Structure 1
């Protein structure tokens, strides 16, 4: 029995019929690499065998009316793979649009909390002969990094690799007496924990104000300009995706002396600027992205979600893409330094005080009254960049040619753009509420031109450097 942390449980408490707090991944597979040829029945048998090596896939939520603390994870003694694995086909002609429509429909369906919180859909009928796998997992059980790690546990570096060693399941069910007593003790100790945290909270606020006055603070919440996707969301979802060459991104990085993440953020900012300008809705002030930051290496707190949050100005008001890149790189350094000062455990510590009754009712009221439409935008969108493996991955023997991630949407921030690297590619997944962004592919198709623009500027910068070096060599 494993108790959820406050941050894990918060994704349960804040879920509403229109705010689904699960994450999805779309894997595109080349079935020609499967050693004995692709067959759905063989995929099911292999997946069933490999799940024994990933206990989290067999764990479900357990709670009790006497439990005052967060729920717990327990092994599902009645686990049935057929309640999680589904076999479907996209309609003809099986293009990326049909695949995206199916993925959006699946992303719009809530997960059943009575069973382990994940589903997998094997999709056939794609026009290029590929097979797709759509994997959906609740954010209470995974963050971006741990979700990618769980997918990796179902993969291998060799299509013919043997199955990983199995891990014996625990005892099914939860001990309600232990759950209630331990929960009561945890809740009784919370006032003491709160008293310990208050001084650091006051210091953090004072430091933020001082930093803002000096001009070296990340953007504050509620300072983002309003855009069409900063409104109350519905339960509908639309997704789109794009694949970029990692070598091109690194060429830009090297030409201007920045980081890969700076280039990724600039590509997102450039695409957003082009998209909003094309609609006549580009704000005069820069958009603000909320960037999840992994603290798996720094945090000593329990829980499956090990993240903090950083606010990043996207400098969408700057017209020149190179100036935007340099401004973003400088601002990211400031934001990282500021976020590090706030501490890796701040979000996890404060979320321990979340409770289902209070926060669940508050979120439902917030959505029903459409309060996200009335106050200043907290931030404009969520942007996440997850490092993936640099080598080829094989999912049950099939080469993974793309892995598109789709994060959750929140009331007031109805757009999420998540990027993951895989081999020599950057896979970009976009998800939105179609009532707020009805033309998501238009935004998505702005990413490749944004990269071409930066590549051209990088080539020009290299040419200028070569000319300067040649002149300098002659003068000597």
Structure 2
């Protein structure tokens, strides 16, 4: 297991669940889907989703990162569960069920995923909630898995095939020997990684910085908010859909990127929400943005994590939405240059050396002591933006009318906002802890007014000066 994947396992505690959620809303002709049939259909297509066959096998004495093994058939009865919404079956009732699903961790002795079939959604629709551990796949890999089982994938409809399992389960002694060997081999790479890191830090210190833009420093520049403290195990979920064309309209009018618009949208909603409750900090809220380090144009990746983070602001200290958007644009562009100088693979390289035993013990002690109350958080919010399907998707002939996704929250960072596009809309999904942020739907409701503010704002782009007439 790569260090970056293993890191998501080490971070998990009784109050920090490191799974992501993917929610597909389906419109079956009969208004229902049989859970047993769905489980059998899924198991017969695991070749298209290889990450879902693998379970975690630890290395004795935590000598090295765990390994992935696929030595047992996947039993759908251990992974597939049924729910029915109470009347009237609105999205609010679905939010409550998904929040409860998100509140429990995944079991470690089986592959790290669950599927929850939720019936009773208004309009005779059903929701399929897939809970998958972040160690298995990031947003890009999860999106590729969705494409792999959709009827419209380039290879055609996924072909059913019997389960294939490995015929060898590593024994503890074998794992210990392999762990020691790999640890020794990686030690030889440490001097080179150290030299590259020092060189990149020197280049970062020497590079010229723009006078009007500072990339926020984790912890040092993070203000305190009610949702930046120690977590409990409970989760709340909320989502809304916004027209993609309107976000693109703002992007074009202001000369920024679509991701800048997403960040400004989140910043505007948080400003409105906190201002109404007299909880808005004087300094801007800060944000971690997961970015893919994968080379473009390669074969779609179906497992693992190839991500890094850049740090930017949400401009919540500025009332003018146009000024907020331009500040986000400048800061995010500078954050990208900082990341390029440091090297996107630097964090990934250092995570290879994270010690499994101490890392797990430290995180559990930190969580048990609720130590996130004692210091500012690394950032206030995590905001992800993943491009989803551009054309309507059907799965085994059943139309998918919508899809939502959200990542985990962390100790001290009690709000995750994930945006997945689907056809002509941007689905914005929030996950939080109700003991920190008790009215998540109220925050979600501020996204539409925040977009209206951006649509109504006048672009703050300096016009070129006229040359004097001769």
Same fold at TM > 0.5: yes
Q: How is 1:3-14 mapped onto 2 (pairs within 5 angstroms)?
A: 4-14=1-11
Q: 1:303 offset after TM fit, Å?
A: 7.7
| Structure 2 counterpart of 1:179 | 175
Alpha-carbon distance in 2 for matches of 1:270, 1:37: 38
Does residue 106 of the first structure (1) align with residue 101 of the second (2)? Answer: yes
| Structure 1 counterpart of 2:217 | 220
Q: Label 1:312 to 1:130 Cα distance change in 2 as closer, same or farther (>3 A).
A: same
Alpha-carbon distance in 1 for matches of 2:408, 2:297: 23
Does residue 230 of the first structure (1) align with residue 225 of the second (2)? Answer: no
Does residue 257 of the first structure (1) align with residue 255 of the second (2)? Answer: yes
Q: How is 1:233-244 mapped onto 2 (pairs within 5 angstroms)?
A: 233-244=231-242
Q: 1:70 offset after TM fit, Å?
A: 1.1
1:429 aligns to what SS in structure 2? Answer: strand
1:265 aligns to what SS in structure 2? Answer: helix
| Structure 1 counterpart of 2:287 | 289
Q: Label 1:39 to 1:22 Cα distance change in 2 as closer, same or farther (>3 A).
A: closer
| Structure 2 counterpart of 1:439 | 439
1:286 aligns to what SS in structure 2? Answer: coil
| Structure 1 counterpart of 2:467 | none
Q: 1:128 offset after TM fit, Å?
A: 2.4
Alpha-carbon distance in 2 for matches of 1:431, 1:398: 28
| Structure 2 counterpart of 1:371 | 371
Q: Label 1:274 to 1:138 Cα distance change in 2 as closer, same or farther (>3 A).
A: same
Q: 1:50 offset after TM fit, Å?
A: 2.1
Could you tell me which runs of 5 or more consecutive residues in structure 1 were left unpaired when the two chains were aligned: 466-476
Question: Which digits, 9 at most, give the CA deviation of each residue in 1:68-116, with x for residues without a partner?
Answer: 2111111142321121112221112212121111101111111111001
**Aligned partners of 2:149 and 2:157 also within 8 Å:** no
Q: How is 1:14-25 mapped onto 2 (pairs within 5 angstroms)?
A: 14-25=11-22
| Structure 1 counterpart of 2:49 | 54
Does residue 270 of the first structure (1) align with residue 268 of the second (2)? Answer: yes
Q: 1:298 offset after TM fit, Å?
A: 7.2
Superposition TM-score, scaled by structure 1 size:
0.89
Alpha-carbon distance in 2 for matches of 1:171, 1:423: 39
| Structure 2 counterpart of 1:426 | 426
Q: 1:162 offset after TM fit, Å?
A: 3.5
Q: Label 1:313 to 1:441 Cα distance change in 2 as closer, same or farther (>3 A).
A: same
Alpha-carbon distance in 1 for matches of 2:224, 2:206: 26
Alpha-carbon distance in 1 for matches of 2:429, 2:167: 36
| Structure 1 counterpart of 2:69 | 74
Alpha-carbon distance in 2 for matches of 1:128, 1:211: 57
Q: 1:168 offset after TM fit, Å?
A: 6.6
| Structure 1 counterpart of 2:357 | 357
Q: 1:171 offset after TM fit, Å?
A: 1.2
Alpha-carbon distance in 2 for matches of 1:73, 1:335: 34
| Structure 2 counterpart of 1:29 | 26
Alpha-carbon distance in 1 for matches of 2:144, 2:347: 22
**Aligned partners of 1:225 and 1:286 also within 8 Å:** yes
| Structure 1 counterpart of 2:466 | none
Does residue 131 of the first structure (1) align with residue 126 of the second (2)? Answer: yes
Question: Which digits, 9 at most, give the CA deviation of each residue in 1:184-238, with x for residues without a partner?
Answer: 1121234332222222323344444455965455221112111111100010000
Superposition TM-score, scaled by structure 2 size:
0.90
How many aligned residue pairs are there? Answer: 454
| Structure 1 counterpart of 2:136 | 141
Q: 1:449 offset after TM fit, Å?
A: 1.0
